[in-house]
Structure 1
């Protein structure tokens, strides 16, 4: 009897120590949807960049600069004496407007009004955030942003639809270091 109990306990121990097996999914999906989305986005980017390159090619009056961040720009007003550009935490006051690539106004600078922004601590579309970092106080720069650097797939849910590249004319009026007062206003 003891031998049967010992064998039963040994059998239970042997089978209860089995590690759990991974469950397999009922259906397996391929990466085709992701691959299709990537390919669709590549086509959109290529089309937008071709539009921007046509604008640049047809405008021989300005010197366009290609940013390593994926947008193009030219200076309307350039400061050649100052070296100060906004850094992380600086508070900048700027004015800007937004247009489609064919020059239709989306938002005028009067509609947006001067804007105060704490560098990299508040929300701002990525192209404009990166563009402000290259500007100096008093400069006016016109940026050509592909949609992925502007409002992307979702737009702004008001006047800018999905995948709309934009032209933005930006004037940087003031750069100041972040103060306690500004810090308290942002919180």
Structure 2
């Protein structure tokens, strides 16, 4: 019995709650310091992902071009094209791949008659759809911050995963 009490007391004394960082509940408020740490983490992660994506591009036979929104596309002058306006309709599909070129979902994600300004989509996909021609297919190389970010899609895509997106306007 004395051994059990001794082990319990030793366990309690060895716990150092001051070394643990408290995390607010979902929807909770973060301090300015926590926000600064998060911004710095994302800045570092984005820089690292951009470096890895550029290294990947250097080993490809297809040429990719950077866009103003911080992703790459395999069409030159892509984001200088005429931009589709809000409230216009588009039908499209896309497939998601990781940078090992492994397809993530068996079936493409497809939307019919989506209206700009009124649909939720990955930032890079929505931006790319603004410049794509009907029937055109492009490949996007997207850092995680423009894909599913720090949470993933809560299905097959983990957090902080950059993606290859094969996008087609139908």
Structure 1 residues 50 and 115, CA, compared in 2 at 3 Å: closer, same or farther?
A: farther
Task: Indicate the residue corresponding to 1:64 in structure 2.
Answer: 64
- Aligned positions, number: 137
- Contact (CA 8 Å) 1:140, 1:172: kept in 2 or not? yes
Secondary structure of the 1:130 match is helix
Q: Distance in 2 between matches of 1:56 and 1:72?
A: 9
- Does residue 1:137 correspond to 2:134, yes or no? yes
Secondary structure of the 2:117 match is coil
Q: Distance in 1 between matches of 2:95 and 2:108?
A: 8
- Contact (CA 8 Å) 1:85, 1:137: kept in 2 or not? no
* Corresponding residue to 1:86 among 84, 87, 97: 84
Secondary structure of the 1:120 match is coil
Between stretches 112-121 and 46-55, larger displacement belongs to 112-121
Structure 1 residues 31 and 167, CA, compared in 2 at 3 Å: closer, same or farther?
A: same
TM-score (norm 1): 0.66
Q: Which runs of 4+ in 1 moved over 6 A?
A: none
- Contact (CA 8 Å) 1:84, 1:136: kept in 2 or not? no
- Does residue 1:151 correspond to 2:148, yes or no? yes
Structure 1: runs of 5+ lacking an equivalent: 1-28, 174-187
* Per-residue deviation, 1:84: 6.5
* Corresponding residue to 2:167 among 167, 170, 179: 170
- Contact (CA 8 Å) 2:91, 2:113: kept in 1 or not? yes
Task: Indicate the residue corresponding to 1:53 in structure 2.
Answer: 54
- Contact (CA 8 Å) 1:86, 1:136: kept in 2 or not? no
Secondary structure of the 2:128 match is helix
